[in-house]
Amino acid sequence: MGIAGNPEVGFEIYPNPVSDKVMIRMNVSGGSKCMLKLVDVPGQVISEEKFDGLLTGQVISVDVSKLAEGVYFLRIDCNGSSSVQRIIKD
């Protein structure tokens, strides 16, 4: 579920905790333009990537192998809606 209960953008992450690559299964309106941001606890953007034409069920892979162990947040903004989930890097 998105922020403020907005169901327009959602995603499932696995595995979590993660050691090398986190998989993101999207649940968005068809053909969505999205921005994916990986953020650390203090709020610094570690990486960001734009995606055009995302579909529900599409899986995106993000390499986190070079990150230090700890907690990170994955934020996805699609068509004006946002959703955030916590990732634990081990």
Strongest mean pLDDT among 9-13, 49-53, 54-58, 85-89: 85-89
Q: Are strands 81-89 and 70-78 parallel, antiparallel or unpaired?
A: antiparallel
- Mean pLDDT, rounded, for 60-84: 94
Q: Which residues contact 22 (CB under 8 A, 6 or more apart)?
A: 13, 14, 15, 16, 61, 62, 64, 74, 87
CA dist 87 and 15 (Å) reads: 9
Record the pTM: 0.84
CATH number of the domain that residue 47 is part of: 2.60.40.1930
For residue 38, what are the CA distances in angstroms to 30, 59, 84? 23, 16, 10
| pLDDT over 80 at 3, yes or no | no
CA dist 45 and 73 (Å) reads: 9
When divided into structural domains, the chain yields a total of 1
Q: What is the pLDDT of residues 7-53, one digit of tens each?
A: 567 899 999 999 999 999 998 877 788 999 999 999 999 999 999 88
- Specify the DSSP class assigned to residue 18: B
Domain enclosing residue 25, as ranges = 3-89
